[in-house]
Amino acid sequence: GDSVTQMEGPVTLSEEAFLTINCTYTATGYPSLFWYVQYPGEGLQLLLKATKADDKGSNKGFEATYRKETTSFHLEKGSVQVSDSAVYFCALHPNTGNQFYFGTGTSLTVIP
């Protein structure tokens, strides 16, 4: 069935470090892929998305490229800030049906 696997956390980085959070997926057909972010005490909010192979989603300095050949959608940011501390969820929506599938979340803490 459809699923998302993302790297285990927690991840702790110093400010201005480079961030990569790995995400791979299993799905038939051509799913849409998403990264959601959850700040402390809040609900999830969309960070970026890509709806077809080779698309690059970007927002707030974060980027992720939809790689069909490696079934991956890794999240990257060149220089993290303390305000990026949050839990990041990779998710997919298959090309049919009504269900989204979420990864387990990766907690990021950025220290000054």
Of 46, 53, 82, 111, the residue at the interface with other proteins (CB under 8 A) is 46
For the chain, helix, strand, coil in percent to 5 are 5, 50, 45
Among 66, 105, 108, 110, binds other proteins (CB under 8 A): 105
Tell me how far, at minimum, the Cβ of 112 lies from other proteins, in Å: 27
Distance of CA 54 to the CA centre of its chain: 15
Residue 26 interacts with other proteins (CB under 8 A): yes or no: no
Under the criterion CB under 8 A, does residue 95 sit at the interface with other proteins?
yes
41: left (phi over 0), alpha (psi -120 to 50) or beta: left
CA distance 82 to 94: 34
Task: State CA 109 to chain mean position distance.
Answer: 15
Q: Could you say whether residue 34 binds other proteins (CB under 8 A)? A: yes
Cβ proximity to other proteins, 85 vs 102, nearer residue: 102
Report the relative pairing of strands 11-14 and 106-111 from DSSP bridges. Answer: parallel
Which residues in the 71-90 window bind other proteins by CB under 8 A?
A: 89
Interacting residue ranges for other proteins, rule: CB under 8 A: 32, 34, 36, 41-46, 49, 51, 89, 93-95, 98-100, 102-105
